[in-house]
Amino acid sequence: MAKKRRKLNKDFEKKIYSSKKNVELVLAKIYDIDDEEIQKEYFSSFNKVVYLFQKLKDDYESIGFNNDSEKLMANYQNSFLLFESEFEI
């Protein structure tokens, strides 16, 4: 059976690219923290954001744009905003 082509969405790809850059920037800032205890605390809190971003990216790469794509993006964005509001970085 032929593999079904995944549906692409250029605007959504831009959002994913932007999200990737935001995650990389925050991770770089966390790596720059000198105090190991604070760094661990930031990493443990940011892990949820990284997990949600990875899930979003993997879903898009394997399935393409689908009914769950916007939900995954909203979950990631809400988690990122929550992290930003709780941690000053």
Residue ranges of domains in the chain: 10-86
Q: Are 50 and 20 in contact (CB under 8 A)?
A: no
pLDDT in tens, 23-80: 999 999 999 999 999 999 999 999 999 999 999 999 999 999 998 999 999 999 999 9
DSSP code of residue 68? T
pLDDT tops 60 at residue 2: no
Quickly list H helices, 32-88: 36-62, 69-86
CB-based contact 69:59 (threshold 8 Å): yes
Please say whether the beta carbons of 18 and 78 come within 8 A: no
Position 6 scores a pLDDT of: 76
**Other C-beta atoms within 10 Å of 88: how many?**
5
What pLDDT, in 10s, does the model give residues 69-81? 999 999 999 999 9
The pLDDT assigned to 88 comes to 86
Both tokens assigned to 4: 């079904």
Kindly report the pTM of this predicted structure. 0.89
